[in-house]
Amino acid sequence: MRWRTLFAAALLLVTATACGPGKVSPTDSVVARASAADHLTIGIRFDAPGLSEHTVDGRFVGFDVDVATFVAGELGVAPKDITWRETTPSTRETDLTSGAVDLVVATYSITDKRKQVVSFAGPYFTTGQDLLVRRTSADITGPEALNTRKLCSVTGSTPAQQVKDKFAQAVELVEYPRYPDCVTALLAGQIDAVTTDGVILAGYVARDPELLKVVGKPFSKENYGVGLRRGDTQGVTAVDDAIRKMISTGEWLRSLNTNIGPSGYQLPPPPEVTEK
């Protein structure tokens, strides 16, 4: 019995040490984790021109990157102490719930379904679903024109299914792992359109303005939020405050003008930060 008592005492000591001053658990607020570690792991997309992109020279650039960097700074974490982790539409929830990332800033639309799994701060940007087509496709003027045509979106995202459900029941849906794959297929004539949020599509137009265009008739409203672990009310409040500060100081508009402005996309006014 004595060895059991000694083992229990040792286990208690280890536990107490692990949870002592300066230590936090994965379930603690992102505010406490940032303060204790002076570090954050943030999930972003690596393939969204103008929003969040991992460049060939190793940099992370775009509006979402700027938002994430500003938020991290308000939580006390310097840019050099951010670890950027790629997250995709099919992994954003699991990246948060597993603890692989502390925050997700990745064109992450706030929906009631997602709020059952994660919490959101924001919104920090508002856009709408649109279509990317070849510049020669004058007959595709909206989602209703897609019956019998091939429409591409990425695995784990919902825009293409929304088109099929609401506008064009005879559309043929095609999925690829990433939007650049959809764009490549569009340029090759293998599909007829790509659908997702207009601001995402605008980045691809900026790269190939002579070959691609956005139809320019949004047919949904998407509020982008910062994803946190569910129930982190302290974190939501802190990130909301950071977004408001980014807007009020002019950094929000400066970043949009730098990263999205060259595409010709019509920039929306700042959103009211109200979502929880």
Identify the CATH number of the domain in which residue 65 sits. 3.40.190.10
Same domain (yes/no): 98, 234: yes
Read off the pLDDT band of 9 (50, 70, 90): very low
End-of-domain residue from the set 191, 214, 237: 214
Summarised one tens digit per residue, pLDDT across range 127-150 is 999 999 999 999 999 999 999 999
- Residue 13 resides in a domain: no
- Residue 2 resides in a domain: no
- Residue 114 resides in a domain: yes
Task: Report how many domains make up the chain.
Answer: 2
Q: What's the predicted TM-score (pTM) here?
A: 0.83
What's the confidence (pLDDT) of residue 27?
72
- Residue 17 resides in a domain: no
Nearest to 87 by CA among 59, 47, 114, 51: 47
Q: Residue 233 sits in which domain range?
A: 25-127+222-263
Which parts of the chain fold into alpha helices (H)?
2-18, 30-37, 63-74, 92-97, 159-166, 179-187, 198-207, 233-248, 251-259
Same domain (yes/no): 201, 231: no
Same domain (yes/no): 179, 48: no
Read off the pLDDT band of 18 (50, 70, 90): very low
Same domain (yes/no): 39, 119: yes
Query: Per DSSP, what are the bridge partners of residue 149?
Result: none
Same domain (yes/no): 196, 156: yes
Beta-carbon count within 10 A of 151 CB: 25
For 206, residues 6+ apart whose C-beta sits below 8 A from its C-beta are 49, 50, 262, 263, 264
- Residue 270 resides in a domain: no
Same domain (yes/no): 56, 173: no
Same domain (yes/no): 106, 140: no
Summarised one tens digit per residue, pLDDT across range 213-248 is 999 889 889 999 999 999 999 999 999 999 999 999
| Cα 212-215-216 angle, rounded to 5 deg | 120
Mean pLDDT, the chain, integer:
88
Same domain (yes/no): 236, 199: no
Summarised one tens digit per residue, pLDDT across range 26-53 is 678 999 999 999 999 999 999 899 999 9
Which parts of 20-91 fold into alpha helices (H)?
30-37, 63-74
Same domain (yes/no): 146, 237: no
Same domain (yes/no): 120, 138: no
- Residue 50 resides in a domain: yes
Structure tokens at 239: 């990130």
Same domain (yes/no): 187, 101: no
Nearest to 235 by CA among 105, 102, 110: 102
What's the confidence (pLDDT) of residue 1?
44
Same domain (yes/no): 191, 76: no
Residue pair 239/228 in contact by the 8 Å Cβ criterion: yes
First to last CA, the chain: 52
Q: Is the pLDDT of residue 24 over 90?
A: no
- Residue 168 resides in a domain: yes
Least confident of 190-194, 213-217, 271-275: 271-275
**C-alpha–C-alpha distance, residues 87 and 105, integer Å:** 9
Q: Is the pLDDT of residue 179 over 80?
A: yes
- Residue 9 resides in a domain: no
